[in-house]
C-alpha cells in the first residue's frame, strides 16, 4: 500500500484538553508514503454540528424515525491543491507534515455532547484524493466548551417558589416556601436551600430534595425527554401540628457534571432542583427550580499555554502548492491528553462513529 499513514492531530491548550469560542487550534496532518506518489489534493476540514435521531413505534407494525440537524460551521482549506496541469502533485517517499491553524468561530455555539439520542460534535478531518482511488480520510474530535452566558435572565438572582396543600378527610393543611440563593452555579460550588414549612396537619411531613438532569430532543414537531437523578437529600421530619419551621440544606454541585446546554434549538441539557414533602397516604406537594451549571473558565490557562503560531500557519498559507516550503521531516510532537482526562465533558469511545 502506497499510503502508509494518514492522521490528523492537534495540540492541547489546557489541562482539560478543551477549546472555546475564538480559540485557535494548532495541529498538523501527517502523511506517510512508501514511495513517490501522485496526489490530487489534501483537504483540511473543520465542522461543528448537532444531530438528534430516535424512533417511535405506533401499533404493531408502524415505526417513525424523527431526526434533525443543526450546523454551526464548516470550513475547508486545501493543503495540496489541484493546480498542476495533470491535476496531481508528486510527493516523495517518507513522512510529510502539513501544519494548520484553525480559529474556532467566536460566536455562541453549544458545547460538545454525546448520548444515544443526540450529539453535538466538533471535529477536524483530513481528506486525501488520488486519481482512480478511493478518498482516504482521517478525523479527530475536540471537546468544545461554550463560554458562560452571564446574560441569561435571572442567573444570579435569588429564587423562590411556594406550594400549599390541603389534606383529605379534614386532616389539615401544609405549605412550604423554597428559597435558593441563585440559579447559576460553577462546579464544586455550594447551593444554599432554605425550606420554610407550615405544618397545620395531623400528619408528619419529611422534606426531601432531588437534583436531576433533564435532556430534551426536538425533531419534526416532536419532543423526546430523558431524566436522570444526580443526587438526593432529605431532612428531619416536621411533626404534625408543629406549625412553622425552617429547614436548611447545603448541596455541592458535582464536578463531573457537564455544563448546561441552552443555546441549541434541537437539543437541551438542563438541570432542576425538586423539593417535595413526603406525606404518608397523600400526594406529595412539590416545587421545581431551574439550575444552570456554568462551564469552567479556562481563559487564563489558555492565554498562558496557547503559543503564537509561526507565520506560515493559518489558512492564508493553505493555497501554497509548493511542497518544498512545507515541513516534511519527522518532528517531536506534543500530543493532546486523552479525552478521558476531561471527566466533566463527553468522552468519545473507540467505537464512536457518526455521519456528522
Q: pLDDT tens for residues 282-325?
A: 899 999 999 999 998 766 555 555 554 443 334 433 333 333 33
Is 40 a domain residue?
A: yes
Q: Which residue has the higher pLDDT, 302 or 86?
A: 86
Q: What is the count of structural domains for the chain?
A: 2
CA 51 remoteness from chain centre = 13
Q: Same domain, yes or no, for 110 and 128?
A: yes
DSSP, res 301? H
Determine the Cα–Cα distance for residues 163 and 184; give it in Å rounded to an integer.
Answer: 23
Determine the Cα–Cα distance for residues 109 and 121; give it in Å rounded to an integer.
Answer: 11
Predicted pLDDT of residue 60: 84
Residue numbers of the domain that contains 233? 159-293
* CA neighbours closer than 13 Å in the CB half-sphere of residue 250: 3
What number is the average pLDDT over the span 203-208?
A: 94
pLDDT cut 90: percent of the chain above it: 70
* Confidence label for 78 from pLDDT (cuts 50, 70 and 90): very high
Q: Same domain, yes or no, for 305 and 203?
A: no
Specify which of 127-131, 155-159, 302-306, 344-348 reaches the highest per-range mean pLDDT: 155-159
Per DSSP bridges, beta strands 286-293 and 184-185 are parallel
CA 67 remoteness from chain centre = 19
Residue whose C-alpha is closest to residue 170's, from 199, 197, 201: 201
CA-CA-CA-CA dihedral for 233, 236, 242, 243, to nearest 10: -30
Determine the Cα–Cα distance for residues 272 and 183; give it in Å rounded to an integer.
Answer: 10
Q: Same domain, yes or no, for 307 and 321?
A: yes
The grid coordinates listed for 37 are 506518489
Is 351 a domain residue?
A: no
Predicted pLDDT of residue 83: 58
Predicted pLDDT of residue 30: 97
Residue whose C-alpha is closest to residue 44's, from 23, 70, 32, 26: 26
* Confidence label for 329 from pLDDT (cuts 50, 70 and 90): very low
Q: Which residue has the higher pLDDT, 206 or 342?
A: 206
Residue 158 has pLDDT above 70, yes or no: yes
Contact (CB, 8 A) for 32 and 96? yes
Residue 121 has pLDDT above 80, yes or no: yes
Is 354 a domain residue?
A: no
Beta-bridge partner residues of 243: 199
Residues 6+ apart with CB under 8 A from 173: 164, 165, 166, 167, 200, 201
Q: Same domain, yes or no, for 140 and 216?
A: no
Q: Same domain, yes or no, for 137 and 221?
A: no
Determine the Cα–Cα distance for residues 86 and 82; give it in Å rounded to an integer.
Answer: 8
Determine the Cα–Cα distance for residues 332 and 97; give it in Å rounded to an integer.
Answer: 11
Q: Same domain, yes or no, for 289 and 305?
A: no
Q: Same domain, yes or no, for 209 and 251?
A: yes
Residue whose C-alpha is closest to residue 356's, from 30, 54, 27, 114: 114
Is 132 a domain residue?
A: yes
Residue 237 has pLDDT above 50, yes or no: yes
Q: Domain boundary residue among 276, 293, 310?
A: 293
Q: Same domain, yes or no, for 167 and 281?
A: yes
Residue whose C-alpha is closest to residue 15's, from 334, 307, 255, 336: 336
Predicted pLDDT of residue 187: 95
Residue 39 has pLDDT above 70, yes or no: yes
Q: Same domain, yes or no, for 80 and 142?
A: yes
Predicted pLDDT of residue 171: 83
Contact (CB, 8 A) for 132 and 281? no
Q: Same domain, yes or no, for 23 and 109?
A: yes
Q: Domain boundary residue among 275, 293, 311?
A: 293
Secondary structure string (H, E, C) spanning 153-222: CCCCCCEEEEEEEECCCCCEEEEEEEEECCCEECCCCEEEEEEEEEEEECCCEEEEEEEEEEEEEEECCE
Q: Same domain, yes or no, for 23 and 92?
A: yes
Residue 354 has pLDDT above 50, yes or no: no
Say which CATH number the domain at 59 has: 2.60.40.640
Determine the Cα–Cα distance for residues 324 and 236; give it in Å rounded to an integer.
Answer: 75
Contact (CB, 8 A) for 129 and 135? yes
* Confidence label for 327 from pLDDT (cuts 50, 70 and 90): very low
pTM of the model as a whole = 0.80
Predicted pLDDT of residue 298: 67
Amino acid at each position: 500500500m502506497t499510503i502508509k499513514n494518514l492522521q490528523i492531530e492537534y495540540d492541547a491548550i489546557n489541562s482539560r484538553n478543551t477549546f472555546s469560542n475564538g480559540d485557535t487550534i494548532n495541529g498538523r496532518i501527517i502523511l506517510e508514503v512508501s514511495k513517490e506518489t501522485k496526489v490530487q489534493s489534501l483537504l483540511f476540514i473543520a465542522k461543528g454540528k448537532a444531530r438528534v435521531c430516535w424512533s417511535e413505534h405506533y401499533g404493531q407494525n408502524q415505526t417513525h424515525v424523527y431526526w434533525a440537524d443543526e450546523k454551526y460551521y464548516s470550513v475547508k482549506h486545501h493543503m495540496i491543491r489541484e493546480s498542476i496541469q495533470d491535476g496531481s502533485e508528486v510527493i516523495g517517499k517518507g513522512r510529510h507534515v502539513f501544519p494548520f491553524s484553525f480559529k474556532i468561530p467566536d460566536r455562541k455555539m453549544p458545547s460538545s455532547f454525546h448520548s444515544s439520542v443526540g450529539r453535538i460534535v466538533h471535529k477536524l478531518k483530513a481528506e486525501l484524493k488520488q486519481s482512480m482511488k478511493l478518498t482516504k480520510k482521517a478525523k479527530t474530535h475536540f471537546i468544545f466548551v461554550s463560554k458562560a452566558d452571564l446574560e441569561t435572565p435571572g442567573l444570579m438572582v435569588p429564587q423562590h417558589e411556594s406550594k400549599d396543600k390541603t389534606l383529605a378527610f379534614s386532616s389539615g393543611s401544609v405549605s412550604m416556601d423554597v428559597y435558593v440563593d441563585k440559579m447559576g452555579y460553577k462546579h464544586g460550588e455550594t447551593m444554599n436551600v432554605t425550606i420554610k414549612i407550615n405544618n397545620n396537619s395531623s400528619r408528619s411531613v419529611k422534606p426531601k430534595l432531588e437534583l436531576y438532569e433533564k435532556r430534551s430532543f426536538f425533531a419534526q414537531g416532536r419532543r423526546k425527554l430523558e431524566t436522570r437523578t444526580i443526587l438526593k437529600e432529605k431532612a428531619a421530619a416536621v411533626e404534625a401540628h408543629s406549625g412553622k419551621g425552617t429547614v436548611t440544606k447545603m448541596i455541592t454541585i458535582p464536578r463531573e457534571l457537564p455544563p448546561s446546554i441552552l443555546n441549541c434549538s434541537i437539543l437541551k441539557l438542563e438541570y432542576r432542583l425538586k423539593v417535595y414533602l413526603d406525606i404518608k397516604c397523600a400526594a406529595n406537594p412539590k416545587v421545581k427550580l431551574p439550575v444552570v451549571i456554568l462551564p469552567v473558565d479556562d481563559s487564563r490557562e489558555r492565554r498562558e499555554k496557547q503559543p503564537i503560531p509561526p507565520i506560515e500557519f493559518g489558512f492564508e498559507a493553505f493555497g501554497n502548492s509548493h511542497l518544498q516550503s512545507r515541513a516534511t521531516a519527522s518532528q517531536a510532537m506534543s500530543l493532546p491528553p486523552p479525552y478521558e482526562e476531561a471527566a466533566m465533558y463527553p468522552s468519545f469511545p473507540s467505537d464512536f462513529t457518526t455521519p456528522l
